[in-house]
Amino acid sequence: MKKYETKVLKASEESVKLAGELIRSGEIVGIPTETVYGLGGNALESTSSKKIFEAKGRPSDNPLIVHITEIDEVTPLVRDFPYLAKKCAEKFWPGPLTMVLPKSDLIPLETSGGLDTVGIRMPSDSTARAIIKAAGVPVAAPSANLSGSPSPTEAVHVFNDMNGRIPLIIDGNNSAVGVESTVISFENNAIRVLRPGFVSPEDLTEITPNVIIDDGVINMLSKDAVVKSPGMKYKHYSPDADIVIIDGALDKYIEYIKNNASESDCCMVFDGDELDVKNPIITYGRDSEEQAALLFSTLRKLDFMGIKKVYARCPSKDGVGLAVYNRLLRAAGFKVIRV
């Protein structure tokens, strides 16, 4: 698909203004955010949302997140802004948290993937905020990758996936968080985590002790399961390489590699892990925050290296680690071996 001469412009006052104008006029622009790069369009226009789905090759029942810059902008977009949601907004916005709320008629069904709800987030990245303000409309933005491939954390990743599909990419900061926002919904007096992210379940307990982690976060959903967050049912974040997660201590991991891997298989381990194996080795950070920041670029590197099979050490499942584990599980198609 080659519809556009895709321009990549460094973030500046002029390029931000141009991005805002393009979005307001119905076009789609690649934009930096602190979580991952997004594909931004006017959230209030069904035609813009359709263009986003087309550029990504994304199933149209997978809803888009709507990005704003001020808490006041929530009210016209929703039918209800419950107390717990207001508390979350005050504590975690601007930042990597998306809240699913009942949508108002301003949000077209194309944006909400046919749902009666809308996911809303206020990003903290200064370029993202400047672009949304310049657009003067709420900005619908999924991650700016082709559907199924790892989310982009650098402008060049967006270019690799979207060249010819969109008119403009704004090259800003690399995404510091590195995994997409935490997605939550509200029920009775509880918060349900639909997708884990940098705002961890532990962080959310500061708002209420009733934090539920949805089954879909670490379990494979059957094809016809009723999912609360449609994004969770799709195979995701996958490099071409076949990934298997090895869950266990480093010595057990090494033993497994020595007994099972062929020499061209790649070991994807943590920085600081010492292993005397002949296999190619790639590392993805020491602690959970570093792993979040590096996971997607590491997955893209595997393809660049032409790796066919990868044995990945299993990340911690606590705090931000849960988000890393959730993404890696999907990249691995849920293949986990406990050692």
Least Å distance, CB 268 to Mg ion, is: 21
Residue type, 180: E
Give the integer Cα–Cα distance in Å for 183 and 75.
19
Query: How near is the Cβ of 42 to ligand TXA at its closest, in Å?
Result: 15
Interface ranges with ligand TXA (CB under 6 A): 33, 35-36, 38, 62-65, 96, 98, 100, 112, 115, 117-119, 121, 141-143, 180-181, 183, 194-195, 228-232
- Looking at beta carbons, which residue is closest to ligand TXA? 231
Give the nearer residue to ligand TXA in terms of CB position, either 134 or 183: 183
Q: Which is nearer to ligand TXA, 145 or 298 (CB)?
A: 145
Cβ proximity to Mg ion: between 192 and 236 the closer is 236
Shortest CB 120 distance to ligand TXA, Å = 9
DSSP structure class, residue 333: T
Task: For Mg ion, give the closer residue by CB, 313 or 330.
Answer: 330
Q: Three-class SS of residue 222?
A: coil
195 binds, among Mg ion, ligand TXA, none (CB under 5 to 8 A by kind): ligand TXA
Cα of first residue to Cα of last residue in the chain, in angstroms, is 44
Least separation, in Å, of the C-beta of 250 and Mg ion?
Answer: 31
Secondary structure (3-state) at 117? strand
Q: Cα 40–42–48 angle (5° rounding)?
A: 85
Which of Mg ion, ligand TXA, none does 248 bind, CB closer than 5 to 8 A by kind? none
With CA atoms as reference, report the closest residue to 141 among 41, 237, 74: 41
Q: How far is the CB of 269 from ligand TXA (least distance, A)?
A: 26
| CA distances (Å), origin 194, targets 73, 75, 186, 197, 324 | 23, 22, 10, 10, 14
How many CB atoms are located within 10 Å of the residue 224 CB? 7
Binders in 109-148 for Mg ion, by CB under 5 A: 143
Whether the bond into 239 is cis, omega within 30 of 0? no
For residue 280, the SS3 value is coil
33 binds Mg ion (CB under 5 A): no
Q: Let me know if 304 is exposed, middle or buried by CB neighbors in 10 A (0-12, 13-18, 19+).
A: exposed
Which is closer to ligand TXA, CB of 185 or CB of 279? 185
C-alpha 228/C-alpha 250 separation (Å) is 36
Residue 32 touches which of Mg ion, ligand TXA, none (Cβ within 5-8 Å per kind): none
Number of residues that bind Mg ion (CB under 5 A): 1
Question: In angstroms, what is the minimal distance from the CB of 213 to Mg ion?
Answer: 20
Bridge-partner residues for 187, per DSSP? 190
Dihedral Cα 330, 301, 249, 244, nearest 10 deg:
40
Shortest distance, position 81 Cβ to ligand TXA, whole Å? 15
Beta 182-187 vs 266-269: how paired, if at all? Answer: unpaired
With CB cut-offs between 5 and 8 Å by kind, which of ligand TXA, Mg ion, none does residue 112 bind?
A: ligand TXA
- What is the phi/psi pair of residue 231, to 5°? -60, -25
- Closest distance of CB 143 from Mg ion, Å: 3
49 binds, among ligand TXA, Mg ion, none (CB under 5 to 8 A by kind): none
Compare residues 117 and 143 and give the one whose CB is closer to Mg ion. 143
> Site residues (CB under 5 A) for Mg ion?
143
